[in-house]
Amino acid sequence: MRAWSTLVVVAVAALAAVAAGGASAHRALPRRAGTGRRLNVVVILSDDERVDGTSVMRNVRRLLVRHGVTFANYHVTTSECGPSRASILTGEYAHHTGVVDNFGLHSFPAFDANSTLAVWLHDAGYETALVGKYINDYTIYGHHKTAPGWDDWQVMDSIPMERYYGYAIDDNGHRQEYGYAPRDYSTTVLTNKAIGFIRRARKPFFLYFAPVTPHLPAIPAPQDRKKLENIGPLHTPSIDEANIGDKPWSYWHKGLLRTAAQLYDGDVRRRQLQSLLSLDRSVARIVRTLKQRHVLNNTVILYTSDNGFLWGEHRLGGKLWPYEESTHVPLIVRAPWTKRPRVSNEPVLNVDLASTISALAGVKPGGPQDGRSFVPFLEGRKAPWRKAYLLEYLGRNMLKVGGPPAYVAVHTARYLYVEYRRGWRELYDLRRDPWELDNIADRPRYRALQASLGRLLHRLWLQQPQTKTA
């Protein structure tokens, strides 16, 4: 408990520093050597899509995977919408951005919108657009103005936010209401806005396209309601895990999942996959529009998600947890120079996106970075890289509603080690136990290993972000 207390003290200090400090100045770097042109960048960010969501997305596989690099070992550092999106836009862990929860004072009110990827690219001459979801709670506390750095602001109202019908969009300061007609389906509406930006934007441009698909309630588009109805159930050892007695939180989830719970998890899975079919069509429209404008060969497209989702693994649902289904999400990057599909197994994180996109744009990040650019992997080169990384959830205790208490964790190529605020510990040997079924924490045989991982965890957690990226 003393170790956790130390982390909490440092976290409070870090949050105070975030609130008081400003971002460092940045300067533009030279254009990409030999091209004379600056790359356009399109980020397509889904909402709550786990790594296997793209299995039903034919256009993603055809237009992105076959022409790009798939990062098979990509994880989010906090498996929650708001904290993850703040990390994507800044390149910092949640305990450095201050956004550690979806709701309350440690959600959007803690976010420094003056130093983000949009600001850095805008100030370097990019035309920027945010179409879709920004950061949870951004309008709840009276924040209705366009955030700094965005030239085109087409953002869903966060009261409520994850809606497919009956929602509002802030169209550059003008509130637009949408109802319940088929034409109001939010993925379609937002895609139309994204396409409009691509057609009219001056070059170079940066598009951050973030529909709410496939976030619950995961309502599929009208033409997709009858699709995937016969999809079979998941059959993995972690689904409705038979023995969770070694899990420190097991007394909150006594007994196997009831039939109703199993049916609900299956229905959630089907609806989420059905809703991804509309986003798959959006990907095709975006690629087609880039091609029609003759800029596809000068544009990098990144497809990813803010966090994963559990469909009954370990008798759990939702996100937040440190398990693979919760933190492991897709990352596919189509780049003009990629001649054939490649797979990278390097451990890449959501905190790496800001540094990477900045490098692609020839811009130095305007704030300190916990992440680093993975452009070398996009170009087929090797580079020194991390061997371990941090996972964290520092929000409210969610046990009573099926989520975890606060925790910090370290993930290596072989092990996952978790320290919860309540004093709980989990340790998994991912080589021998890829489904994370056997918690070996606190066993005498693994005492030295656990102590070593604990020291590594605390070293990573206390490490300060770098002002320069490698």
pLDDT tens per residue across span 404-450: 999 999 999 999 999 999 899 999 999 999 999 999 999 999 999 99
Band of pLDDT at residue 9, cut at 50, 70 and 90: very low
Instruction: Note the pLDDT of residue 142.
Output: 61
CA separation for the pair 56, 276 (Å, rounded): 8
Q: Are 42 and 302 in contact (CB under 8 A)?
A: yes
Band of pLDDT at residue 320, cut at 50, 70 and 90: very high
Instruction: Note the pLDDT of residue 138.
Output: 84
pLDDT of 455 > 90? The answer is yes
Band of pLDDT at residue 467, cut at 50, 70 and 90: low
Instruction: Note the pLDDT of residue 36.
Output: 56
Q: At 23, list the tokens.
A: 């971002």
Q: What is the pLDDT of residues 35-87, one digit of tens each?
A: 458 999 999 999 999 999 999 999 999 999 999 999 999 999 999 999 999 99
CA separation for the pair 83, 107 (Å, rounded): 7
> Hey, which CATH number is domain 39-393+434-449, 3.40.228.10, 3.40.50.620, 3.40.720.10, 3.30.70.3450?
3.40.720.10
Q: Are 319 and 306 in contact (CB under 8 A)?
A: no
Q: Are 189 and 178 in contact (CB under 8 A)?
A: yes
Q: Using CA of residue 337, residue 342, residue 344, residue 350, what is the dihedral sign? A: positive
The highest-confidence range among 248-252, 355-359, 399-403, by mean pLDDT, is 355-359
Least confident of 58-62, 156-160, 243-247, 457-461: 156-160
Q: What is the pLDDT of residues 163-200, one digit of tens each?
A: 999 999 999 989 999 999 999 999 999 999 999 999 99
pLDDT of 140 > 90? The answer is no
What is the layout of strands, in order, in the sheet containing 425-429? 388-393, 407-412, 415-420, 425-429
Q: Which of 324, 320, 307, 326 is nearest to 402 (CA)?
A: 320
Q: At 252, list the tokens.
A: 């909150």
Q: What is the mean pLDDT of the chain?
A: 90
Q: Mean pLDDT over residues 225-244, rounded?
A: 92
Domain boundaries, the chain: 39-393+434-449
pLDDT of 387 > 60? The answer is yes
pLDDT of 466 > 70? The answer is yes
Q: At 52, list the tokens.
A: 């296997």
Instruction: Note the pLDDT of residue 141.
Output: 65
Band of pLDDT at residue 276, cut at 50, 70 and 90: very high
Q: Are 440 and 446 in contact (CB under 8 A)?
A: yes
Instruction: Note the pLDDT of residue 324.
Output: 97
Single-letter amino acid code for the residue at 293: R
Q: Are 98 and 12 in contact (CB under 8 A)?
A: no
Q: Which of 49, 63, 29, 141 is nearest to 341 (CA)?
A: 63
Q: Are 85 and 359 in contact (CB under 8 A)?
A: no
Q: Which residues are designated catalytic?
A: 81
pLDDT of 3 > 80? The answer is no
Band of pLDDT at residue 145, cut at 50, 70 and 90: confident
Instruction: Note the pLDDT of residue 33.
Output: 35
Q: Are 321 and 310 in contact (CB under 8 A)?
A: yes
Band of pLDDT at residue 158, cut at 50, 70 and 90: confident
CA distances from 126 to 39, 190, 201, 330 (A): 10, 21, 10, 26
Q: Which of 301, 298, 276, 275 is nearest to 287 (CA)?
A: 301
Q: Are 149 and 119 in contact (CB under 8 A)?
A: yes
Q: Mean pLDDT over residues 346-355, rounded?
A: 98
Q: What is the pLDDT of residues 283-319, one digit of tens each?
A: 999 999 999 999 999 999 999 999 999 999 999 999 9
CA separation for the pair 355, 368 (Å, rounded): 10
Instruction: Note the pLDDT of residue 23.
Output: 34
Instruction: Note the pLDDT of residue 412.
Output: 98
Angle at 353 between CA 14 and CA 103, to 5 degrees: 50
Q: What is the pLDDT of residues 159-173, one digit of tens each?
A: 777 899 999 999 998
Q: At 89, list the tokens.
A: 């836009």
Report the Cα 184 to chain-centroid distance in Å: 26
Band of pLDDT at residue 5, cut at 50, 70 and 90: very low
CA distances from 320 to 146, 342, 426 (A): 29, 30, 15
pLDDT of 29 > 90? The answer is no
CA separation for the pair 328, 311 (Å, rounded): 14
Q: Per residue, what are the HEC states of the chain?
A: CHHHHHHHHHHHHHHHHHHHCCCCCCCECCCCCCCCCCCEEEEEEECCCCHHHHHHCHHHHHHHHHHEEEECCEECCCCCHHHHHHHHHHCCCHHHHCCCCCCCCCCHHHCCCCCCHHHHHHHCCCEEEEEECCCCCCCCCCCCCCCCCCCEEEEECCCCCCCCCCEEEEECCEEEEECCCHHHCHHHHHHHHHHHHHHHCCCCEEEEEECCCCCCCCCCCHHHCCCCCCCCCCCCCCECCCCCCCCCCHHHCCCCCCHHHHHHHHHHHHHHHHHHHHHHHHHHHHHHHHHHCCCHHHEEEEEEECCCCEECECCCEECCCCCHHHHECCEEEECCCCCCCEEECCCEEHHHHHHHHHHHHCECCCCCECCCCCHHHHCCCCCCCCCEEEEEECCCCCHHHCCCCCEEEEEECCEEEEEECCCCEEEEECCCCCCCCCCCCCCHHHHHHHHHHHHHHHHHHHCCCECCCC
Q: Which of 276, 289, 380, 269 is nearest to 335 (CA)?
A: 380
Band of pLDDT at residue 227, cut at 50, 70 and 90: very high
Q: Are strands 174-178 and 74-75 parallel, antiparallel or unpaired?
A: unpaired
